[in-house]
Structure 1
Amino acid sequence: MVTDTGGIDDKSFNASAWAGLQAAKESQSNVEPKYVASTSEADYEPNLRQFVTQKCNFILSVGGLMGDATKKVATENTSQQFGIVDASIPDATNVFPMQFATEQAAFLAGYLAAGYSKTGKVATYGGLKIPPVTVFMDGFADGVAHFNKVKGKDVKVLGWDKAKQNGTFAENFGDQNKGKSITNTFVAQGADVIMPVAGGTGLGTADVAKASNGKVSVIWVDQDGCKSAEQYCEVFLTTVVKNITDAVKGAVVDGASGKTLAATPGYLGTLENNGVSIAPFNQFESKVDAGLKAEIDKLKADIIAGTVKVESANAPK
């Protein structure tokens, strides 16, 4: 596995993918996981090539930013199997894509944020302006809009304008100070529920929330924050979960047992197949109104049934 620049311990998507490799090892004795961390985008290609040289059977790229490097290396090494999280490379038949309809789960989180907010202002920001990030922000904004429509309210979203595809970005996935700075600005503008889609940068948001004495809460992404960043569990209202771990485990186990991993259709995680979800409320269980919980359960069922449409130009194609 080659990590994105967030590193193996980002409490987010790199960590989720590595957990998938570890889980595959536990269930399939011929799996030997190893990883190399990328410190910059320039590392992607040489890191992938070192695993080609080592004749690894399955080489996993983590993150949409690795698409170009993966395509280049995979098309030059067609006898080896590659996989990629958060991207699809149709021209490379030996790359198995694992993508997620994150907008569906983020829609639920936006509705929750709007219903939980005391100030009538919520916020989101991203690490970089790329589709695997902005798809969360689209879903979140639409969930808030749906709440407003159903309830006749006017909860505002700071940090993202879906119609204009414009918003706030940290320009990285590992700078907690930048996360703090962005969050402090949102809080000064009145936001009390904030969803960072920024890997380790988002831990800066959790720091601000922890210091707020309960006034600010956080919606985490990728892995249930109460499991991946336990020290901040008290501020995590929920998490928009991408079940990267199970997707990676499934692909590796299939490959290790001799199945051919097809580039199409690949894997798409949805609310229906539990590939995306919102995590338990954990320490917020007693703080979230029972009526709001019931509305979110109904909304999930309606999205699965197709009676509530969730759409994003940034969703996996």
Structure 2
Amino acid sequence: MRTTRKAALSGLAIAGAAILLAGCGAAPEEEPAGSGSAAPEPAADFLPCLISDEGGWNDRSFNQSAKEGMDRVAEELGIEAMEMESTSANDYGPNLETLVSNGCSLIISVGFNLAAATVESANANPDVNYAIIDDYADTDFDGDTDAPNIKPLVFNTAEAAYLGGYAAAAWSAQSGVNKVGTFGGGEIPSVKVFMDGFQLGVEKYNEDKGASVGVVGWDTESQKGSFTGGFEANDVARQTAQGILDQGVDVILPVGGPIYTSAAAAIRDGGEDVLLMGVDSDLAVKDPDLADITYVSILKAIDQAVYDATMSASTGEFDVAPYVGTLENEGVALSSFHDFEGQLPEGTLDEIDALKEQIVAGDITVESPNSP
């Protein structure tokens, strides 16, 4: 278990990395840099706090994105935020107890795996505000959040993954391979929702183009596929990635924080002519050593959701209504294709633009059983 107290500016918002497609919903309002507007004055004793799951702050994915949002708040408000990094599931309860004992005003838990511990802590401390990323904190599955002081911060990533799946299929059809793959870390809804959208996007490409691009590693209808069982970049993750590569794919989507490094290692070591896709954050930016094989990333604006919830709590305006990130409100998006943009099949960007407009307008509904 490691504890840090931070007040460092972190600067990447997902909206800045996303493709600027037509028909976008309104982005969260932010003052332009250098506008001179003062940040809201927080309560004198306001202490925002953040707890990671076992992936840690340097996962270049959802934990790191959450930390960047919290660090941004701390910098703008001129305060300290308490951030506790979990190294295993055994840390969740003790870390939450430490945050409460230090007088945290708001505690944000990063990830589905912290749901049970967060519910227990929130019920024991009704005067503390809580938020949780990627879960409704509904541990008894009755349709309601299990404590009245928890705000869910969830994301309909199936929408953005649909665009990513379409783009993956376009690449694979152009190469003549006609096969793409995906695998997940933990077998949980916030992972499977990416895989659902990805497959549905591939199917949309096939429908529109009369193509026959196949998907290895996941089947949306049966909800069965390839998973490592966790989020560690270990031998299991490497073997799982290799199992997908061995089936002849030329685009692979690992869903689960650091497991992307295992997929990248398998691609590099095998001399595979395969492109990698990122999740949560723009992988080509977060891990520039992989920019040459990173095709595109499916983004969640976790940093912005953490920022907005924390700023609201700082002024006493916190509410527990769930936040759901969508393509319309730019809570989810597709990143730039960076160096691969010029290599896309002609018209692909326009096609993705049109698909996004149709999803935002409600003309296309991306139906995933794992969507929030």
TM-score, normalising length: structure 1:
0.95
Equivalents in 1 of 2:234, 2:274: separation in Å?
17
CA distance in 1, matches of 2:347, 2:107: 46
Which residue in 2 is equivalent to 1:263? 320
Q: What do the CA deviations read for 1:288-307 (whole angstroms, capped 9, x no partner)?
A: 12311111111111111111
Q: Tell me the distance in 2 between the aligned counterparts of 1:182 and 1:91.
A: 35
Q: Equivalent residue for 2:331?
A: 275
Equivalent residue letter for 1:185: G
State the Cα distance separating 1:309 from its structure 2 match.
1.3
Matched, 1:106 2:161: yes
Q: Which segment drifts farther, 248-257 or 12-21?
A: 248-257
Q: Which of 213, 232, 235 is matched with 1:174 structurally? A: 232
Matches within 5 A, 1:226-265: 226-259=284-317, 261-264=318-321
- Residue in 2 that maps onto 1:78: 126
> Alignment partner for residue 103 of structure 2, among 41, 46, 55?
55
**Does residue 307 of the first structure (1) align with residue 363 of the second (2)?**
yes
Residue number in structure 1 paired with 2:148: 93
1:221 and 1:241 in contact (8 A); partners too:
yes
Residue-by-residue CA offset, 1:208-260 (whole Å, 9 max, x unaligned): 3345667100110001002211111111111000000011011111111221x
Task: Output the CA distance in 2 between the equivalents of 1:212 and 1:39.
Answer: 31
Indicate if the aligned counterparts of 2:82 and 2:99 stay in contact, CA closer than 8 A: no
Counterpart Cα distance in 1 of 2:104 and 2:297? 33
Deviations 1:146-183 (A, max 9, x none): 11111111111111011110000011112243333222
TM-score, normalisation: structure 2: 0.82
| Moved beyond 6 Å, runs of 4+ | none
**Equivalent-residue separation in structure 2 for 1:35 and 1:231 (angstroms):** 27
Contact 2:299 2:334 in 1 (8 A): yes
Please provide the CA RMSD for this pair.
1.3
**What CA deviation, in whole Å up to 9, does each residue of 1:83-103 have, x standing for no partner?**
110011323121111100100
Query: Any residues of structure 2 matched to 1:175-190 within 5 Å, and which?
Result: 175-190=233-248
The 5 Å alignment of 1:127-206 reads 127-206=185-264
Code of the aligned partner of 2:71 = Q
Q: CA deviation at 1:207?
A: 2.4
Task: Tell me which residue corresponds to 2:26.
Answer: none
Q: CA deviation at 1:281?
A: 0.4
Quick one: which amino acid aligns to residue 281 of structure 1?
A: F
- Greater CA deviation, 20-29 or 246-255? 20-29
Distance 1:210 1:297, change over 3 A: farther
2:166–2:202 Cα contact (<8 Å) kept: yes
Question: How many angstroms does 1:60 deviate by?
Answer: 1.1
Displacement of 1:37 in angstroms is: 1.7
Q: More helix per residue: 1 or 2?
A: 1
Output the CA distance in 2 between the equivalents of 1:94 and 1:191.
45
- Which consecutive residues of structure 1, in runs of 5 or more, have no partner in the other structure? none
* Matched length: 313
What is the identity, as a one-letter code, of the residue corresponding to 1:43?
D
- Ranges in structure 2 where 5+ consecutive residues have no aligned partner: 1-49, 138-144
Tell me what 1:67 maps to: 115
Q: Distance in 1 between matches of 2:366 and 2:121?
A: 35
Cα distance in 2 for residues equivalent to 1:213 and 1:219: 17
